[in-house]
Amino acid sequence: MDVNHASIMLVRTMVWIVGMLGIAVPQIGAIIPVSTQAPGGLEREEIPQFIFVTFDDAVNPDIYEMIGRISHHRHADGSPVGFTFFVSTDWTDFYLVHRLHAAGHEIATHTITHTTGRGTDFLTWVREIEGCREVLHRYADVPLSEIRGFRAPYLAYNGATYEALHALGFDYSTSVSEPLGMFSVSPAEMIWPYTLHDGLQQMQWTGTGPTVSLPNLMEIPMWLLYEADGTRHPREMDPTGTKESLVALFKENFMQRYNGNRVPLGLWLHAVPWLGSPSAPVQANVDAMNEFLEWALQKPNVWVVGMSTLVDWMRNPLPASEASASGMLSPKVYEPLPATAAMSQSFPKGTVRFINNRPLHYPEPHNAFKRLQVKQAEISGVDVTLEITNIWSPSRPTGFQGRFASVTTVATPLSSGRWTGFRAISKSLAYGAISAWIHWWKVGINCGITIGCLLPFLPAAH
């Protein structure tokens, strides 16, 4: 019996013992390899067809009004469509972010200042990304647990971007364009999202990926659009054309996916300039989006939702009928606070409109946290809890290779009313591959200690 097989048998035995004793153990996120097949082994008709409509950058009154002109569509179950907003918080109206979230749209991060790039270091990424999440929570009242995704400004990323996201506990990133080539072979057979246990599995046009294993983070590709003749549409974001040509482009790519492997269709946009403004709308684009969404939503199992809905479905790939009945695909809505609840505070840089927490400073990366600590050390000699998802990485050697990073952030009292208090985020990153027998040995020791602690409390035999 080889070491790996013995390790598997040990773990199965320990899991059985723990289950018999009723000890709760944390669930570990599944590794999802790069593939052109949807997870779960479902037939095509059982796979939900997701459509993503995303908008980058700040949210202001003009953008909010224009979004209202294309977001009135409904799913077959009566639930509203949901878009994803990657919000950069400079110049953002947080009350309107609150209203978007209440209407069923997903709120994700896009940094505070929109000034990051391929040369940005790890600490700056942490301040920009986690600062953005904290600010959206504090002033728009979006729950921290629902701010789960990130897109890099200018789609410019580096390895430190992903290490920061993984350390901060984000679920997904979506910054890498996906044309045909490598694993995507046609518009009907493009790759599905995958976890970064073995790094980026796409051509890296606008940055460089991580060189370490980040198994808890998923990359959602930014799938490009293709014309009916097979040529690639010239723009990866904000597609251009007449109303008729845009409707044809959207329908062509939708049908390729719908009749193919059901990979999601993504429409990656900036509300300005793509939708225009209330005083100068780009009516062709507005009309094209409305016509397309109305047409697509008449087909079975089509869902226009936030991107984290896809992440949840991929981790639990139910057939479309079951997923729909369970409510996991329907955007969640609630009654927003009235406009009278919104307050404003002026600063030299600009005015912040917010709810609940009055800012004492204009939100910036340097004042989102009063202390930010990052500790790095070799795994040898450090008490590190390893996760099962860190052991599978066939392209990397095994053994003690790596370090761990721990990121702790403490919120500042930027609010004169309710104080968010102290919040710590601490996650270990396993760099490289850790041999399986070391992991299972620690699992066995930990479970043995747990059982040993419980033995004195068990009834004695008579």
pLDDT at 25 over 80: no
Residues 53-77 have pLDDT tens digits of: 999 999 999 999 999 999 999 999 9
Q: Is the pTM of this model over 0.85?
A: no
**CATH number of the 44-326 domain:** 3.20.20.370
**Is the pLDDT confidence value at 20 over 50?**
no
Counting runs of H as helices and runs of E as strands, what totals does the chain give?
11, 17
Rg (CA), the chain: 24
CA dist 249 → 9, 209, 231 (Å): 53, 30, 11
pLDDT tier at 373, thresholds 50, 70, 90:
low
Contact 104, 333 (CB under 8 A): yes
Whether the per-residue pLDDT at 316 is higher than 60: the answer is yes
Q: How confident is the model at residue 30 (pLDDT cuts 50, 70, 90)?
A: confident
pLDDT at 449: 42
Model pLDDT, residue 357? 85
Sorted by where each begins, the domain ranges of the chain are 44-326
Mean pLDDT of 209-234: 96
The residue with greater pLDDT, 410 or 122, is: 122
The per-residue pLDDT for 86 is 98
Tokens standing for 383?
């008490």
Q: How confident is the model at residue 410 (pLDDT cuts 50, 70, 90)?
A: low
The pLDDT of residue 374: 59
The closest of 188, 274, 191 to 239, measured between CA atoms, is 274
Token pair of 215, please?
């198994």
Q: Three-class SS of residue 301? A: coil
Q: For position 309, what pLDDT does the model report?
A: 98
Dist CA 168 CA 200 (whole Å) = 19
Looking at residue 423, its pLDDT comes to: 30
Read off the pLDDT of residues 164-198 as tens digits, 9 standing for 90 and up.
999 999 999 999 999 998 899 999 999 999 999 99
pLDDT of residue 174: 98
pLDDT, tens only, 324-361: 999 999 999 999 999 999 999 999 999 999 998 888 88
Spatial CA neighbour of 205 closest among 181, 170, 225: 181
| 99-157 pLDDT, tens digit each | 999 999 999 999 999 999 999 999 999 999 999 999 999 999 999 999 999 999 999 99
pLDDT tens per residue, range 377-406: 443 333 323 222 222 222 323 322 233 344
Tokens 């790095």 belong to which residue?
Answer: 376
Pairwise CA distance, residues 184 & 221, whole Å: 11
Determine what percent of the chain is predicted with pLDDT higher than 90.
71
Q: Which residues of 101-115 are buried (b: 16+ CB within 10 A; e: fewer)?
A: bbbbbbbbbbbbbbe
pLDDT digits (tens, 9 = 90+) for 266-287: 999 999 999 999 999 999 999 9
Res. 371 pLDDT band, cuts 50 70 90 = low
Closest by Cα among 129, 128, 85 to 107: 85
Name the pLDDT band for 409 (thresholds 50, 70, 90). Answer: low
Q: Is the per-residue pLDDT at 48 higher than 60?
A: yes
Q: Give 408's strand partners.
A: 373
- pLDDT score of 234 more than 80: yes
Q: Tens of pLDDT along 411-455?
A: 554 433 332 322 333 333 333 333 333 333 433 444 444 444 444
Mean pLDDT over each residue of the chain, to the nearest integer? 81
